[in-house]
Structure 1
Amino acid sequence: MSATTAPTDAVQVTAPRPRGGIVQSVNDSLVVAKRNLIRMTRIPEMIIFGMIQPVMFVVLFSYVFGGSMQIGSSTDPIVYREFLMAGIFAQTVTFATAGAGAGIADDMHKGLIDRFRSLPMARGAVLTGRTLADLVQTALTVVVLTIVALLVGWRIHEGLPKALAGFALLLLLGYAFSWIGALIGLSVRTPEAATSGGLIWLFPVTFISNAFVDSSNMPGWLQPIAEWNPFSATVQACRELFGNPGVSPSDAWPMEHSVLASILWSVLIIVVFRTLAVRKYRSATA
């Protein structure tokens, strides 16, 4: 009895080719981002409360302080509102840092990060997905805030393309600061501590800047700090792109090249704090 032989034209079954590291990381990050976005829609109060705070800032600063502020030689409240809005936009996107930190700390506290770790997925995808989801929520908040700003008298004067570029810089800054929040969330034990840790340092960063007042009116020793503040660079860049009133001329490089300075600062923050956050994530779950 002769042995049977396989037909020569049989189809050869091969194992699927594994995905590359970058492809897998991108795909895993999008999956995690989708998970976080779905979670946000199921807890709508997270989005609603996140929108109320910046709207309150717009109304309070515009109508309470607007008549007392002098921008250049003008004390017109409308002029101050246009001056103010770039600062409010920037403050709004950076305050998302606290939410990012609290979300990651909550996932750590509930053991969800350990579950992700047991899956065959890129390590940095958990954090990247979270920050991308926060970026989407921040963009929605900026849209609502823009509508409110238009209602109180804010206008753009340099055309839609430059305005969109300004909003892109704002979202880039917000995304950069969300990585700081990610690092804080991985470094504390509870979501409450992450929220406090994400806000306590943001107040001096946002107020020692050109966001709400002309930095030239600050004490001499404080002016360089405000002018080299990454937050100030984005605010100044947005004022230029929106065509809104700006601060007094300054010789500081970030103020003279605000758009470039804003991009460089944001990219630097992303590179540094993403590296630190991913390293912290690996050590925390090792």
Structure 2
Amino acid sequence: MSVYSMTGYAAGQCAAGEPSTDASGSRLGVEIRAVNGRFLDLSLRLPEELRHAEPALRERVAARVRRGKVELRAWVEQRADGGLPAPSAAVLQRLSGLQEQVQAWLPQARGLSVAEALQLAQRSAGAALDWSAPLLALTERVLEDFNAARAREGARLQTMLRERVAALRALAAQAEPLIPQVVAQQRERFLQRFHEALGATPADPTALQERALAEAAAFAIRVDVAEELTRLQSHLSEIERLLQRGGEVGKRLDFLIQELHREANTLGAKSASLDLTRVSVDMKVLIEQMREQVQNLE
């Protein structure tokens, strides 16, 4: 299953109807654009003649998109000659008959001008045209292109996340051997202090040695990050599993990124060497990059 980005764009146009029913030569246009958001926030921008299709449009978009701030805009584009086609004889006859009926009751009513007659004819043609079928068909086609664009962007983000997961695993592998080295070095320092104290004071050597070894053991426990590294590796495995599964993974990945950041912070807080501090800082940089990318995933 694909991983979708919440960012995408697609647009399309088509004839509003068949030539026999669409004498005006009008065209329908649909545009869909989206950016990231916590939930599905859908807004529609429709002209009056398309307003009746709003519930059906909302249903179709909600079936394809789960999260993001989505805007769907539809419009009717008139022909290049101003959208004033030559009216048919039947329409003109109908207008003439209506005008005669009105003037029979209102003799002082003025006759229709050419502009008024053309405008009424255009409205009549537009009202007779059923916009629903072409609008919904075009919206389905644009939604296909929209999701294809989101899938391409999602694949790119997926690749970047996998690269950073691999980099974090490499940093964790660097951190693992550093702790035993630091503990061994510190143990030597404690024992050196024991020998120095033994030469300077007549204290019981057994008690001094036990104290030095106890301090070394406490230090080893304090700086041990094996548990943090194990949890970090577990979170990375779960991220890889989610990316492999695909679908709606954005919220779960965002939670795992928070957990990764927590482990990296603890690693830095327990750091007892410059090398381990550097590893912690490098991890935080990678995790922050992952956070920015995950916020764009559905």
Query: Which TM-score applies when normalising by structure 2?
Result: 0.23
Between Structure 1 and Structure 2, the one with more strand by share is 2
Structure with higher Rg: it is 2
Between Structure 1 and Structure 2, the one with more helix by share is 1
